[in-house]
């Protein structure tokens, strides 16, 4: 059975992430969306909140599950006996980081491969970081994040007027 693991911060989930996940489902038997947690990183939302935002927006995709992991992604793959890590590429700026990460993961666990998916033309400019900046100023998040995430984000980040 071919399983793809799609790791990321998902802080928060965007329509760009969902686009990648939907494109993965017909290609793999199982897709695990892996919410990464590192005590050294600052997140807006807790790992459980990020997981719930993903879960609530992926209910109709039957071969997708969401999990949380603290530590090396390759250790998670070893644990569930998966061989494929999926990442998304938005622009050239993503490339260097993703290539270094893929090479490091290969060094740590030679059996795994990283599959890179190009962002769709409608999504290549969407990032969690930009979303948070827009939310901070009460901007319109339509077409950028799922509808149920919009009020939560605005509530959490909107500057007092």
> Cβ 10 to ligand ADP, closest distance in Å?
5
Match 């827009």 to its residue by tokens.
Answer: 134
Instruction: List the one residue from 4, 5, 8, 31 that touches ligand ADP (CB under 6 A).
Output: 8
Match 């927006």 to its residue by tokens.
Answer: 57
Q: Does 87 bind ligand ADP (CB under 6 A)?
A: yes
> Cβ 38 to ligand ADP, closest distance in Å?
10
By CB under 6 A, what part of segment 113-132 binds ligand ADP?
119, 123, 126-128
* Distance from C-alpha of 58 to C-alpha of 64, rounded to nearest angstrom: 7
67 bridge partner residues: 34
* Distance from C-alpha of 120 to C-alpha of 127, rounded to nearest angstrom: 13
Active site residues: 17, 41, 90, 128
44, 58, 71, 112 from 106: Cα distances, Å: 30, 29, 16, 6
| Stretch (H or E) spanning 20 | helix 15-24
**Between 3 and 114, whose beta carbon lies closer to ligand ADP?**
114
Q: Does 156 bind ligand ADP (CB under 6 A)?
A: no
- Segment contacting ligand ADP (CB under 6 A): 22-30, 88-96, 106-114, 152-160? 88-96
**CB atoms near residue 146 (< 10 Å):** 18
* Distance from C-alpha of 84 to C-alpha of 31, rounded to nearest angstrom: 10
Q: Does 5 bind ligand ADP (CB under 6 A)?
A: no
By CB under 6 A, what part of segment 10-69 binds ligand ADP?
10, 14, 16-17, 20
Choose among 86, 121, 90, 154: nearest CA to 145: 154
**Between 90 and 156, whose beta carbon lies closer to ligand ADP?**
90
Q: Which residues bind ligand ADP (CB under 6 A)?
A: 8-10, 14, 16-17, 20, 87-88, 90, 94, 119, 123, 126-128
């Amino acid at each position: 059975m071919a399983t793809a693991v799609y790791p990321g911060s998902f802080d928060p989930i965007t329509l760009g992430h969902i686009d990648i996940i939907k494109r993965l489902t017909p290609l793999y038997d199982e897709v695990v969306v892996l919410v990464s947690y590192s005590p050294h990183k600052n997140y807006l939302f807790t790992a459980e909140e990020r997981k719930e935002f993903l879960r609530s927006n992926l209910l109709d995709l039957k071969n997708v599950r969401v999990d949380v992991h603290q530590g090396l992604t390759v250790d998670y793959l070893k644990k569930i006996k998966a061989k494929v890590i999926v990442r998304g590429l938005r622009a050239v700026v993503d490339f260097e980081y993703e290539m270094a990460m893929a090479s490091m993961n290969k060094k740590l666990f030679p059996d795994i491969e990283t599959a890179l998916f190009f962002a769709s033309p409608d999504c290549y400019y969407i990032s969690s970081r930009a979303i948070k900046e827009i939310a901070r100023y009460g901007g319109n998040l339509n077409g950028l994040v799922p509808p149920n995430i919009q009020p939560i984000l605005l509530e959490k980040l909107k500057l007092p007027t």
